[in-house]
Amino acid sequence: MVFPSAVIPQLQDDDDPRLHIDIHQISWFGSVFAIGAIVGGLSAMVMNDIIGRKHSIMISVIPSTAGFLMMAAADKVWLLLLGRLLTGIAAGITASSIPVYVSEISHPGVRGFLGSSPQIMTVIGGLALYALGLILPWQWLAVAGEVPVLIMLLLLCFMPNSPRYLITKGKLDEAGRALQWLRGPDSNYITELNRIQQSVNSQVGMKWSDLKNSFYYKPILISVLMRFLQQMTGITPILVYLEPIFEKTVDFLDPKYDAAIVGFVRLFTVMIAAWLMDKAGRKSLLYASAFIMYVAMLAVTMYTHKTSCDSGNVTVGIPSATEPSGVMIGCGLSSGTLIPLISIIFIVVGYAIGWGPITWLLMSEILPMKVRGVASGMCVVISYITAFVLTQAFMNAVVAYGLFAPFLFFCVICVMNIIFTAKCVPETKGRTLEEIENYFRTGRTFTIAES
């Protein structure tokens, strides 16, 4: 996702005129990834329930490998865009499949931590890219992207399918072996297997008309709205255009070092959040997350509005392929300050402790078994449609109004996230997936319904 942040400044300084990019191509380079993710999410809606979560993740290796190779060998802008599209398809598939797979194989006591692991890996990937961007040309950054893809494919060969998925396909013996492997031969896995089978059997024969039942539509609506509000905080355009944002706001350090600092802080924070997930609970972290982002967004809004508008001198320029400052025109900011860096660090910190990992985790926890594969794909599609629109609009808003305008909008969204958490989000800490399903079935309790 963050590949353009390190690559855009290098492309603007590239000696090959065929790879010079203007402001519109920069917008597409940042946002076409989201179009691919929409396609991947739609594909996963079908694949998750037909071939299973594990094999869906493994198939994502094909577009990911092809996309990175295409970008590494690109000598024209359209090849870069096509490579980004293919890696986006892979991201859409994995974003739909990995959270569901992890939640379905995890023990309730550690599901919060393990449910955060995809977000931790995402942050590690971003930090690795920022760090490698300090020493490698952009072509080799694309080559480096192949490494985790191939490692993932190799290690998944040794992992079992999800026991819940196997039970839905009538493979009870294989499900038992998978659960025994996951929990250990000395565990009470038979009891857990029977509970999973009871839950799956209670949803046999679901029809489209069943979506009128609150047992289905409530968790689906909560999941979709959470993914929508997650993206509306603006985290995707902020991370995608991190170095260009620093080009315009911070002259104290080189923007690529600022980006690496943000990546490191993000990793440290998301690991703390993973540790807290099964201790503090989901809702308290969502509250803290939205409040921290609100304060940090407000700081950026006030700083960029004051420095660009109080003087009455708004910079106007023509986007240029050879001038990095052409990426962010529309507000002339003073130099030598750490306010934007500190504020964006806290935006990332806020996102990483709650609205980043918990939206993925809750989606996989609260969706009913029968619609989990399809609904998770739908959540990813909604998420990346929102990401595409915001990433496309971000540059244009900055050019037209200055940086303060989008950040003010993100402030308002953070307030809405706090209200949504209070009114709609259930606390799932320490609950089994079957208990969570029964909560939506009865609307009153997290206890397991007796057969």
Amino acid 252: pLDDT: 58
- How many domains does the structure of the chain reveal? 1
Within-domain flag for 451:
no
With respect to residue 157, please indicate whether it lies within any of the assigned structural domains. yes
Which whole number is the average pLDDT over 220-245?
A: 86
208 assigned to some structural domain: no
- In the block, residue with structure tokens 């200055």: 402
- What is the rounded CA–CA span in Å between residue 25 and residue 20? 9
Residues 6+ apart with CB under 8 A from 270: 116, 119, 120, 123, 352, 353, 356, 357
Tell me what pLDDT residue 203 has.
62
**Residue 364 pLDDT more than 80?**
no
Question: Residue 7 domain-assigned?
Answer: yes
Domain that holds residue 243: 3-203+217-442
Q: Return the CATH number at 150.
A: 1.20.1250.20
Average pLDDT of the chain to the nearest whole number: 79
pLDDT at site 358: 84
Residue type, 180: Q
pLDDT score for 253: 61
Q: Which tokens belong to 347?
A: 């935006």
Please say if the pLDDT value at position 415 is more than 90. yes
Q: What is the pLDDT of residue 319?
A: 35
Phi, then psi, of 310 in degrees rounded to 5: -65, -35
Better-scored residue on pLDDT, 339 or 226 = 226
Alpha-helix runs per DSSP H in 159-213: 163-168, 172-183, 189-201
Mean pLDDT of 382-411: 85
Q: How sure is the predictor about 28, in pLDDT bands with cuts at 50, 70 and 90? A: confident
Q: Is residue 395 part of a domain?
A: yes
Q: Tell me what the mean pLDDT of segment 149-169 comes to.
A: 91
The 10s digit of each residue's pLDDT in 9-27 is 777 776 667 777 777 777 7
With bands split at pLDDT 50, 70 and 90, how would you rate the model's confidence at 314?
A: very low
Contact 228/382 with Cβ under 8 angstroms? yes
Question: In the numeric block, which tokens belong to residue 253?
Answer: 């350090």
Q: What is the pLDDT of residue 27?
A: 76
List Cα–Cα distances, 273 to 246, 267, 277, 327, 354, in angstroms.
26, 10, 6, 34, 7
Among 108-117, 130-139, 214-223, whose mean pLDDT is lowest? 108-117
pLDDT band of residue 158 (cuts 50, 70, 90) is very high
Give residue 323's pLDDT.
Answer: 36
Any domain includes 210:
no
Residue 449 lies in a domain: no
Q: What is the DSSP secondary structure assignment for residue 335, as one 8-state letter?
A: S
Are 80 and 68 in contact, with CB atoms under 8 Å apart?
no
- Range with the poorest average pLDDT among 144-158, 187-201, 428-442: 428-442
Record the pTM.
Answer: 0.68
- Asked which of 188-192, 197-201, 308-312, 426-430 is least confident by mean pLDDT, the reply is 308-312
- pLDDT confidence of residue 330: 40
Looking at the domain assignment, is residue 313 inside a domain? yes
Question: Residue 262 pLDDT more than 90?
Answer: no
User: Is 256 a residue whose pLDDT tops 70?
Assistant: no
Residue 403: name the closest of 309, 337, 311, 262 by CA: 309
Q: Is 414 helix (H, G, I), strand (E, B) or coil?
A: helix
Tokens 């293919």 belong to which residue?
Answer: 86
